[in-house]
Structure formats: structure tokens, C-alpha cells
């Protein structure tokens, strides 16, 4: 039985889709099968990030409404063995995440990983209907507002028995104003377990296709191994600072 991973954030642009592609890359290199679901309705991106946008016929709403089978909607990603991606709808109608979660429960019998890349800033009521068996991961950047709102999101989700783990993304030890980011403070504010810290990496911004090289890729690979249950020590926070 595979695992469902749900990427969430209190804000758009935190790096969920980038992390989704990075995790899919890492799992593929480990010989695992991955179904990547772009659940950001109205803001399709994973198909383009993985260079399959010209092949898109169906999207996840077609599968949910019974218009298409998952086999027809999921596009095989070139260069990433065992990885398929289902695009999000162009329509901005809210996807029923409860229904998507029920389908993911079925798909994880056939894939090692089902990764659901959600829209940022979703209200907790929409996220809380996803299966409790999923591995929820909140991706947060180091800015104050994002950190505070991630704390609120994690606290609200815990009332539903969901305790997301945390990825701190776009980490720069020294901020533009010369101050330092306090990772301990971010973890405390989010009151979530740290899964990893992904540095700001210029390899990412120009990226199309699998995430293979650079410091961010290396960090996401370690995170993938932790999700997979391997004992990879976390970075020494004092050394990062």
C-alpha cells in the first residue's frame, strides 16, 4: 500500500509545486511509482513544469466526474520512470478534496506515492476532509506573515486530527536587511515537526523538468528519504545559522 502526500501552505508561492516535482524526482530515482495530482484549480502548473502540457486532454475534474479514467488523464513524465501527472482544471470551481482524497485512497494501492499539490491559502474546512491517513506537509517560506499564518493553519488542522509536518523553503541564512532567520522560531510558530529545510537555489527559478541538481534538489532528496521512513538526520540548525 502506497502513501498519499498532501502539500499545503498558508500562502501561494511558498514552493509546493516545486517540492512536489522534487519529491517525484527523488522517489522515481529510488525506483518508486508516483501519481502527481495538480489540485490547484484554475492555476495549472505541474504539466508545464514537467513538459507534458502539449499532451493534456483530461484533467483531474474529468476523472472526478467520471469523464475520464485515471489511466487516460495521467500523463507519463518523460525522463522520470514511473511518474505520471494529472493536470488541474482550467476552471476555478473548487475541487471537492474529500472526493479527491477518497480516490487517492484507491490509487495508493497501485502507486507507491500519490502526491496532491493543493492551492495555497485554502480554508481549513476544505483541507480537513482529506484522508487522515495522508502525510500532510506544510511548505512555508521564511517571511513573518507566512510563518504566522502557517502556525494558525497547523493549529486549526490539529482540531481535525491532522498534524502537518513542515518544510521551510527558500531558506537564506542572511536576509536582505542583514538579519538572520531563526529556524527554531519558525518551528515554534508553526508548532509543527520539521521535515527539512530547502535553501534558496538559483537552479530552481530557471527550472523545467525533474529537479536533479543543486542544493535545493539535495535537500528535497533528503526530505523524500525521511518521508519514506529512512533515518536521515535533520540539519544542525546552529550550523545553518
Q: Applying CB under 6 A, does 16 fall inside the site for ligand ADP?
A: yes
| Sheet of strand 75-76, all strands in order from the earlier edge strand to the far edge | 75-76, 83-86, 34-39, 113-118, 3-8, 135-140, 165-171, 193-199
Number of residues that bind ligand ADP (CB under 6 A): 17
Alpha carbon distances (Å) from 168 to 9, 10, 67, 143, 178: 11, 13, 38, 10, 19
Residue 169 binds which of Mg ion, ligand ADP, none (CB < 5-8 A, kind-dependent): ligand ADP
Residue 13 binds which of Mg ion, ligand ADP, none (CB < 5-8 A, kind-dependent): ligand ADP
The three cell numbers of residue 118 are 493543493
Q: Applying CB under 6 A, does 3 fall inside the site for ligand ADP?
A: no
Q: Applying CB under 6 A, does 17 fall inside the site for ligand ADP?
A: yes
- The span of 15-23, 66-74, 84-92, 143-151 binding ligand ADP (CB under 6 A) equals 15-23
Instruction: Kindly tell me which residue out of 2, 5, 8, 14 binds ligand ADP, with binding defined by CB under 6 A.
Output: 14
The three cell numbers of residue 138 are 506544510
Instruction: Kindly tell me which residue out of 4, 10, 14, 17 binds Mg ion, with binding defined by CB under 5 A.
Output: 17
**What's the longest Cα–Cα distance across the chain?**
54
Q: Applying CB under 6 A, does 10 fall inside the site for ligand ADP?
A: no
Q: How far apart are CA 161 and CA 89, in angstroms?
A: 29
Q: Applying CB under 5 A, does 118 fall inside the site for Mg ion?
A: no
> Which residues share a beta bridge with 8?
138
DSSP letter assigned to residue 142: S
Number of residues that bind Mg ion (CB under 5 A): 3
Q: Which x/- pattern, by CB under 6 A, does the window 180-199 give for ligand ADP?
A: ------------------x-
Q: Which is nearer to ligand ADP, 68 or 134 (CB)?
A: 134
The three cell numbers of residue 21 are 516535482
Q: Which is nearer to ligand ADP, 4 or 142 (CB)?
A: 142
Shortest separation between residue 171's beta carbon and ligand ADP, angstroms: 8
HEC readout, 33-47: CEEEEEECCCCCCHH
Instruction: Provide φ and ψ at 76, rounded to 5°.
Output: -70, 135
Give contact residues for ligand ADP (rule: CB under 6 A).
Answer: 9, 12-18, 120, 169-170, 198, 200-201, 204-205, 216
Amino acid at each position: 500500500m502506497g502513501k498519499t502526500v498532501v502539500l499545503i501552505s498558508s500562502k501561494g508561492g511558498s514552493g509546493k509545486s516545486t517540492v512536489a516535482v522534487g519529491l517525484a524526482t527523488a522517489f522515481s530515482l529510488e525506483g518508486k511509482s508516483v501519481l502527481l495530482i495538480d489540485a490547484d484549480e484554475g492555476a495549472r502548473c505541474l504539466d508545464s513544469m514537467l513538459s507534458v502540457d502539449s499532451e493534456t486532454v483530461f484533467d483531474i475534474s474529468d476523472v472526478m466526474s467520471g469523464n475520464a479514467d485515471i489511466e487516460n488523464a495521467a500523463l507519463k513524465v518523460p525522463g522520470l520512470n514511473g511518474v505520471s501527472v494529472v493536470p488541474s482544471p482550467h476552471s476555478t470551481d473548487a475541487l471537492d478534496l474529500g472526493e479527491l482524497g477518497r480516490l487517492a485512497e484507491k490509487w495508493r494501492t497501485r502507486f507507491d506515492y500519490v502526491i496532491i499539490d493543493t492551492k495555497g491559502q485554502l480554508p481549513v474546512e476544505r483541507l480537513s476532509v482529506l484522508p487522515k491517513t495522508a502525510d500532510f506537509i506544510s511548505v512555508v517560506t521564511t517571511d513573518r506573515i507566512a510563518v504566522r499564518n502557517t502556525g494558525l493553519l497547523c493549529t486549526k488542522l490539529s482540531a481535525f486530527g491532522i498534524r502537518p509536518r513542515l518544510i521551510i523553503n527558500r531558506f537564506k541564512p542572511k536576509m536582505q536587511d542583514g538579519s538572520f532567520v531563526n529556524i527554531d522560531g519558525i518551528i515554534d510558530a508553526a508548532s509543527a515537526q520539521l521535515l527539512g529545510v530547502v535553501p534558496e537555489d538559483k537552479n530552481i527559478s530557471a527550472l523545467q523538468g525533474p529537479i536533479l541538481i543543486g542544493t535545493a534538489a539535495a535537500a528535497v532528496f533528503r526530505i523524500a528519504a525521511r518521508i519514506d521512513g529512512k533515518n536521515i538526520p535533520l540539519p544542525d540548525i546552529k550550523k545553518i545559522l
